[in-house]
Amino acid sequence: MSQSVRTRPEGSGQALSEAYDTALLDLDGVVYAGGQAIAHAVDSLATARAGGMRLAYVTNNALRTPDAVAAHLTELGIPTGAGDVITSAQAVARLIADQVSPGARVLVIGGEGLRVALRERGLEPVESADDDPAAVVQGFGGPDLPWGRFAEASYAVARGVPWFASNTDLTIPSGRGIAPGNGAAVEVVRIATGAEPQVAGKPLPPMHRETILRTGARRPLVVGDRLDTDIEGAFNGDVDSLLVLTGVTDGAKLLAAPPRHRPTYVDADLRGLLAGQPEVVEADGGFRCGGWTARAGEERLELEGDGAALDGLRALCAAAWTVAGEGVCELDPGKALARLGQ
């Protein structure tokens, strides 16, 4: 990676929706959670779009088709066309098409989203290892995927048929808790075969390439809640990112982020798209943002002042990331985060 090490969140005098032409938005933990829209998502996205920002939705979930995802978003009050949705199924279909003959057969272990994406690239989905596939592809199949599908994949992969995976997220959130994701399913075939798949999804370059090809974005902003998929994907693609705190990342995880997991900007939720971002400046041997000053102490991160909790977190990021450099900050953030109500 050519990027220098980020040591603090950046400021922006312009609203992010004006500074960037396209938002590449993650879905779960950003736009919705458990099927419901996240607070401020619907209004913020409508305002950003009315101001001229292109909105695209980028998901590692290969189960649902872009049509189904767009219909869900539209139902939540976010008018979306299928062309505004990019899935890891599309990214892996292109990755396969680049390596096999036109019209080749591909053994599918996964759902409808994967089959539709393969057909879009002119490939023929097949169901059995005996169908002479040129590739095997695994994508999230949902709770009803029969165990025998893993056997089909394993037979073909063990014979040396090239193996692809839409994504390797180990878990997938559901309304009832944390369920095994496609990464767990990939492990099943890996254990049976000892082989290694080519992977398309976030944070890997094929997914980012797919989003840029499909949106034509010139100055994209990746918006996500997960450091090791969304933010790392932006880092790998060398584009800017906004972390929102409506999903899986809390202050402690953010402060302990290695360079590839450090977002350009941090905000509470999607209202952050509509605002400028405050500068974090060096001051008094520490880092100041708004009314807060953060420092790296001997054993812990220190924070003094008052004001908006997010400014305190931004100042703490600068203190933590600066002391960590290319590594990970090991100072105790507990007391400082408690001052911010975290």
Query: Which residues are catalytically annotated?
Result: 26, 28
Q: What are phi and psi of 278, to 5 degrees?
A: -70, 150
Tokens read off for 245: 């705190």
Amino acid identity, position 73: L
To the nearest whole angstrom, how small is the minimum distance from the Cβ of residue 44 to Mg ion? 16
What x/- string results for residues 109 through 128 when contact with Mg ion is judged by CB under 5 A?
Answer: --------------------
Which residue among 112, 152, 169, 225 contacts Mg ion (CB under 5 A)? 225
Q: How far is the CB of 168 from Mg ion (least distance, A)?
A: 15
Q: Under rule CB under 5 A, which residues in 20-49 are in contact with Mg ion?
A: 26, 28-29
Beta strand segments in the chain, E: 22-25, 32-33, 36-37, 54-59, 85-87, 105-109, 124-126, 135-138, 163-165, 171-174, 177-180, 198-199, 220-224, 240-244, 265-267, 281-283, 286-289, 292-296, 301-305
Q: By CB under 5 A, what part of segment 244-263 binds Mg ion?
A: 247
CB-based contact 170:183 (threshold 8 Å): yes
Give the type of residue at 34: G
Q: Are strands 54-59 and 22-25 parallel, antiparallel or unpaired?
A: parallel
Asked if 232 interacts with Mg ion (CB under 5 A), we say no
For the beta carbon of residue 52, count every other beta carbon within 10 angstroms.
Answer: 9
Q: Least distance to Mg ion from the beta carbon of 250, Å?
A: 14
* Of the candidates 339, 292, 338, the residue with the CA atom closest to the CA atom of residue 318: 292
Of 123-131, 166-174, 181-189, 242-250, the segment contacting Mg ion by CB under 5 A is 242-250
| Residue closer to Mg ion (CB basis): 28 or 152 | 28
Q: How many helices (H) and strands (E) does the chain have?
A: 12, 19
Single-letter code of the amino acid located at 104: A
Q: Considering beta carbons, is residue 26 or 267 the nearer one to Mg ion?
A: 26
Work out how close the CB of 29 gets to Mg ion at its nearest, in angstroms, rounded to a whole number: 4
By beta-carbon proximity to Mg ion, the closer residue of 111 and 181 is 181
Give the total of residues touching Mg ion (CB under 5 A): 6
Taking the least distance from each CB to Mg ion, the nearer of 26 and 302 is 26
Q: Residue 203: is the preceding peptide bond cis (ω within 30°)?
A: yes
Q: Which residues contact 14 (CB under 8 A, 6 or more apart)?
A: 276
Q: Which is nearer to Mg ion, 225 or 232 (CB)?
A: 225
- Quote the least distance from Cβ 61 to Mg ion, whole Å: 10
Question: Minimum distance from CB of 28 to Mg ion (Å)?
Answer: 4
Between 112 and 225, CB nearer to Mg ion: 225
What tokens does 311 get? Answer: 């400014």
Q: Which residue is nearest to Mg ion (CB)?
A: 29
Residues lying near Mg ion in the complex (CB under 5 A): 26, 28-29, 225-226, 247
